Structure 1
Amino acid sequence: MSAPGGDASSGAGRMGDAAARLGRDAAELARDEVRAMRDDLLAAVRRFGVGGALFAGAGVCGVLALWSAHQTVLRGLEAVMPRGRAAATLTGVYGSCAALLALAGRNRVKAAAAVTAGTLEKEADDLRSGPPTPGPQAPEPGAEE
């Protein structure tokens, strides 16, 4: 026969074992989930790495195409004017285009900032005025009275 205190201690021991097993199982499940997420992330990074390399190659090809176009225009200008003047003319054209593009970009950014500021100000005003007060609701279309 066992003493009444023995049953309580063995019950507590079984509960402790069950809790320990539950903790180990939960930890193993969490480790498995972390491994799965890590593997998914690494696969995505690998795919992105290949895509990034392809974009880099496309960028290099684009720069080479621009350089070829520049050389073609420069050679064409050198056929009708002295070499130094042709280079200066092309430099002036490039500088003017760069300035115009920068001004257009600045104007677009300012316009976007103004729209964003206006939207944020409207949201702030809506928040300051508080929640809308419930009023009488209009009947739904098609509802019979």
Structure 2
Amino acid sequence: MAGAASEQPGRGDRTGNPAGRFAEEITEVVREEMNAVRHQLTQAARPAGAGIVLLAAAGGCLMLGVGAASTTVLRALETFLPRRLAVAGLASGYLTAAVVLGRLGLQQLSAAGDSSGRVADEMREAVSATAGAVVPAGSAAARQALGGARGGGADGRNEA
């Protein structure tokens, strides 16, 4: 049965049309190469997928560790500072670290040039706009909290 199928013209005829044979051979080579590439990609993706999952888990553990360390530092600060002042000090430390690291990151992006420099400029503008809205509100809240702690007026302002 297989012999009858191979004897039909146009189906695997290796002795006939040279262009047809060439096309069949190229098709077979391309098919084999595609299968090899697919196999290589599959083999490469398996360890990468496991690596990505492990990195995500490590990131989650890192966040939990940072949270636990932050709680520990806050409790240590509370042993010799009032709670509000300890929280404000810790928050100020985190914000200062964020500003310093952010500026260093933006400097690196700007130094990279081209599209990275444009991204850095856009981020700088967005941060400035956000800070312009957040800093006054934070300052007012801090004044109110400190004013309330010092026995300020009903509106939270100290009367001098």
What TM-score, normalized to structure 1?
0.62
Q: Within 2, Cα distance between the matches of 1:81 and 1:88?
A: 11
Match of 2:111 in 1: 111
RMSD value, Cα: 2.6
Question: What one-letter code is carried by the residue in structure 2 that aligns with 1:22?
Answer: F
Question: What one-letter code is carried by the residue in structure 1 that aligns with 2:54?
Answer: L
Match of 2:65 in 1: 65
Unaligned runs of 5+ in 1: 1-13, 118-145
Could you tell me how far 1:41 is from its partner in structure 2? 0.8
SS of 1:80 mapped into structure 2: coil
Range with bigger deviation, 103-112 or 78-87: 103-112
Deviation readout 1:15-45 (Å, 9 max, x if unpaired): 7433323321221121111111111111111
Match of 1:45 in 2: 45
Q: How many residues align?
A: 104
1:26 aligns with 2:26: yes
Change (3 A) 1:26 1:111: closer
Q: Within 1, Cα distance between the matches of 2:20 and 2:54?
A: 51
What TM-score, normalized to structure 2?
0.56
1:102 aligns with 2:137: no
Q: Within 2, Cα distance between the matches of 1:31 and 1:104?
A: 50
Look at both structures and tell me which one has the larger radius of gyration over its CA atoms.
1
Unaligned runs of 5+ in 2: 1-13, 118-160
